[in-house]
């Protein structure tokens, strides 16, 4: 077990002016707070915070971070409080310790929800101070190193969480060595059989390729030195998890992998990187498609290096990484490498880490995901953001946009700005028009075509890759749906007040909000539109002397003996335009105009039979779904006789300049002989009807009954199709289905 004096010596080795008193106070406080607590292995609990602090000394972190590492479990696992830590160690260290403390006593229904809420809290703390992340990663690394002592039932869950969250977080921060160790430790416990198989093959390859690695290192070094350049060359085999992931991603066997051997060339200056690259490419043949320049275009986690693959010495396929020594520090230690740059007094400067591109990118991601989503959505989106490798694309003005692999132009649009994504209607990639769901590649120039007032379709949510795009689409969809319901609610209320012969006064309605149990006027409109609030109740809240129309409807029903009379008593007279059949009803301003699906109101048509312009129609308000339009002759309307508050006065309002089809259903009985179905389909097609679906509802030796869903322009068009079908000898009977 690490000793306290050893820890202090480690800190003073890279920071001679370290506050030894602070470190000793933190150790003594943690030791007393944890008291007789034991780890699962049976060792004193204090060994864990000591080892976590020791891991952070390898990253050369500041005194406050090391002290916070010693104290990181005190609030969560002991009687210590934030106030006490603030008093003894100061608010800076108290803030770090609290950021690492899980949410206690969560009243959540699932472990997934608890994990998601804890992750949200952690990432929000990370967005405030990057040192929280560094301590948490060191904490997870030591826990993974000692996972063998945890009950077997928990190991797989902890290992999966490490692969899902903590290893990608380390990668996002550029801490590649730490990421690889986390991945391999988690791989060993989460998929032990796969880990054992890959490790065995790598060990065999190492025995066979050991001399080859030395020979290639020697030949590369000699070539570079002969050109007058100084370089340090080292080779190694890839890690088990990296090999397994590549096998899974490319669906290949171990034998088919040709880049398990990797070599790193470290030089002093950036210019030397390109000099070495030129030397290697003129000496050995390159493998096409295997060159990446992350120096000119760094990764979002600040990683900079040149990658290339050549057929090198001994005809061996060799993967090379060429970078400077300072780039290598960032490649290995990531964001922690920024603390290596000293202030004037020689102390590590954690502020520089806060200013890095990697941390800025993570903070931006957290801020974009944290707004308005549930904890479980946050977890889902975070995994999406962390898991994928990146592609680099450009705006027409040359701005670089980093995206996960398999990202689409929709992801690109939302990465530029939420408003750009919401307004996207098309795109050009490298000057060519392509679908918005196309997959982007490295170096693509993407131009987004926008339209004002556009709302992203809800279906986009399943097509995008980035969490930011998903969250924005979900919010925009919710806003659009709420706007639709609010618009419908306003329309319903205006007509309800008109039927009651009362003025529609929004100011008086706002005064009446407490009586309706709503906090805003928009909530009332949306509630009426969803069917959660009856319009008569709103009228009564503004005008208490108003008599509910339900009562009038019931009286009429009793007096005249029928639901149609009740509707008339309520003022629900159903209007239609001139459909060509000579029936014209005079419209008034109390009926709601219906134009079809996709308009400003949440509208759908009767599931069995539909409705078309020319029909007398009625609207039924369904809570949470909007208006369902039925023809007045539909038998399904009897199901709503005892719910008069759901009936709406509606009328067709069709624009000749924007024609659209409407749904109807036909019951057709045809002679059971070859070609009868083709005849039916041909007549409907020749008559400009559109068949949506056909189902067989009955069959005898002589006849076949079918139900056909069609889309037509209006009642006149539907009647013409029926008339044409009836003229054919093969068709015995045709009738319209009215539900």
Which residues are tagged catalytic? 76-77
Residues whose CB falls within 8 Å of the CB of residue 552, separated by 6 or more in sequence, listed in order: 569, 570
What percentage of the chain's residues is helix, strand, coil (to nearest 5)?
50, 15, 30
Residue ranges in 406-466 assigned as alpha helix (H)? 409-416, 418-422
Q: Are 263 and 274 in contact (CB under 8 A)?
A: no
**3-state class (DSSP) for residue 486:** helix
Task: Report DSSP state, residue 348.
Answer: B
Q: How many residues does the chain have?
A: 739
**3-state class (DSSP) for residue 344:** coil
- Intra-chain end-to-end CA distance of the chain, in Å: 78
**3-state class (DSSP) for residue 738:** coil
**Which helix H or strand E contains 199, and what residues bound it?**
helix 192-226
Distances in Å between the alpha carbon of 23 and those of 8, 20, 69?
Answer: 7, 5, 10
**In degrees, to the nearest 5, what angle opens at C-alpha 567 toward C-alphas 574 and 586?**
25
Tokens 């997934």, located at residue: 112
Q: Please state whether 453 falls in left (phi above 0), alpha (psi between -120 and 50) or beta.
A: left
Q: Please state whether 28 falls in left (phi above 0), alpha (psi between -120 and 50) or beta.
A: alpha
- CA-wise closest residue to 648 among 546, 528, 552: 528
**3-state class (DSSP) for residue 673:** coil
**In degrees, to the nearest 5, what angle opens at C-alpha 637 toward C-alphas 634 and 643?**
170
Q: Are 541 and 516 in contact (CB under 8 A)?
A: yes
Residues whose CB falls within 8 Å of the CB of residue 3, separated by 6 or more in sequence, listed in order: 50
Q: Which two tokens stand for residue 436?
A: 């918005």
Residues whose CB falls within 8 Å of the CB of residue 56, separated by 6 or more in sequence, listed in order: 65, 66, 69, 134, 135, 138
Question: Rounded distance, CA 617 to CA 659, Å?
Answer: 19
Q: Which two tokens stand for residue 158?
A: 């902890």
Handedness of CA 405, 370, 471, 427 (dihedral sign): negative
Q: What is the DSSP string of 19-83?
A: -HHHHHHHHHHHHHHHTT-B-TTSSBTTHHHHHHHHHHHHTT--HHHHHHHHHTTHHHHSS--HH
């Amino acid at each position: 077990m690490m000793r306290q004096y050893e820890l202090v010596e480690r800190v003073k080795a890279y920071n001679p002016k370290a506050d030894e008193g602070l470190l000793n106070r933190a150790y003594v406080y943690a030791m007393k707070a944890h008291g007789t607590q034991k780890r699962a292995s049976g060792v004193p609990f204090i060994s864990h915070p000591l080892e976590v602090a020791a891991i952070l000394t390898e990253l050369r972190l500041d005194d406050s971070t090391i002290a916070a590492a010693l104290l990181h479990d005190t609030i969560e696992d002991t009687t210590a409080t934030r106030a006490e830590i603030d008093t003894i160690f100061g608010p800076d260290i108290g803030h770090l310790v609290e950021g690492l403390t899980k949410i206690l006593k969560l009243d959540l229904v699932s472990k997934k929800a608890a994990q998601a809420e804890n992750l949200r809290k952690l990432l929000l703390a990370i967005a405030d101070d990057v040192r929280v992340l560094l301590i948490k990663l060191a904490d997870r690394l030591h826990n993974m190193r000692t996972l063998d002592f945890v009950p077997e039932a928990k190991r797989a869950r902890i290992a999966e969480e490490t692969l899902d969250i903590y290893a990608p977080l380390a990668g996002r921060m550029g801490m590649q060595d730490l990421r690889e160790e986390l991945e391999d430790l988690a791989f060993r416990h989460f998929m032990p059989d796969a880990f054992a198989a890959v490790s065995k093959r790598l060990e065999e390859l190492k025995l066979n390729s050991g001399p080859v690695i030395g020979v290639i290192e020697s030949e590369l070094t000699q070539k570079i030195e002969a050109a007058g350049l100084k370089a340090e060359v080292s080779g190694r085999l890839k890690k088990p998890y990296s090999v397994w992931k590549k096998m899974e991603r490319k669906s290949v066997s171990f034998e088919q992998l040709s880049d398990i051997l990797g070599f790193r060339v470290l030089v002093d200056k950036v210019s030397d990187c390109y000099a070495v690259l030129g030397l290697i490419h003129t000496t050995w043949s390159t493998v096409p498609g295997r060159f990446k320049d992350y120096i000119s275009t760094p990764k979002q986690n600040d990683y900079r290096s040149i990658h290339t693959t050549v057929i090198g010495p001994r005809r061996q396929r060799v993967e090379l990484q060429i970078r400077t020594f300072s780039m290598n520090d960032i490649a290995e230690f990531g964001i922690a490498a920024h603390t290596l740059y000293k202030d004037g007094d020689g102390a590590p400067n954690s502020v520089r880490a806060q200013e890095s591109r990697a941390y800025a990118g993570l903070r931006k991601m957290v801020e974009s995901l944290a707004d308005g989503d549930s904890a479980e959505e946050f977890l889902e989106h975070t995994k999406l953001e962390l898991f994928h490798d990146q592609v680099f694309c450009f705006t027409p003005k040359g701005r670089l946009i980093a995206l996960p692999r398999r990202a689409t132009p929709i992801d690109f649009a939302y990465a530029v700005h939420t408003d750009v994504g919401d307004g996207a209607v098309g795109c050009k990639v490298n000057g060519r028009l392509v679908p918005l769901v196309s997959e982007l590649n490295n170096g693509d120039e993407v131009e987004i075509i926008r339209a004002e007032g556009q709302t992203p379709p809800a279906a986009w949510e399943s097509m995008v890759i980035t969490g930011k795009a998903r969250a924005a689409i979900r919010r925009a969809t919710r806003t659009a749906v709420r706007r639709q319901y609010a618009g419908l609610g306003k329309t319903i209320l205006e007509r309800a007040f008109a039927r009651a012969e009362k003025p529609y006064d929004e100011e008086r309605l706002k005064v009446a909000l407490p009586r309706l149990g709503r906090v805003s006027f928009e909530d009332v409109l949306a509630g009426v539109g969803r069917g959660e609030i009856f319009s008569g109740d709103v009228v009564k809240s503004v005008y208490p002397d108003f008599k509910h129309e339900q009562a009038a409807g019931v009286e009429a029903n009793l007096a005249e003996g029928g639901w149609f009379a009740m509707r008339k008593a309520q003022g629900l007279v159903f209007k239609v335009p001139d459909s060509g059949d000579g029936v014209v009803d005079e419209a008034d301003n109390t009926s709601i105009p219906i134009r079809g699906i996709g308009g400003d109101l949440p509208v759908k048509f009767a599931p069995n039979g539909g409705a078309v312009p020319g029909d007398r129609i009625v609207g039924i308000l369904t809570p949470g779904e909007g208006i369902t339009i039925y023809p007045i002759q539909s038998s399904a309307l009897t199901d709503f006789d005892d719910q008069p508050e759901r009936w709406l006065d509606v009328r067709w309002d069709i624009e000749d300049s924007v024609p659209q089809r409407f749904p109807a259903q036909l019951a057709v009985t045809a002679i059971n002989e070859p070609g009868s179905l083709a005849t039916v389909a041909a007549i409907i097609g020749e008559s400009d009807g559109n068949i949506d679906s056909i189902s067989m509802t009955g069959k005898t030796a002589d006849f076949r009954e079918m139900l056909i869903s069609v889309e037509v322009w209006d009642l006149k068009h539907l009647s013409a199709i029926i008339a044409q079908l009836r003229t054919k000898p093969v068709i015995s009977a045709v009738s319209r289905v009215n539900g």
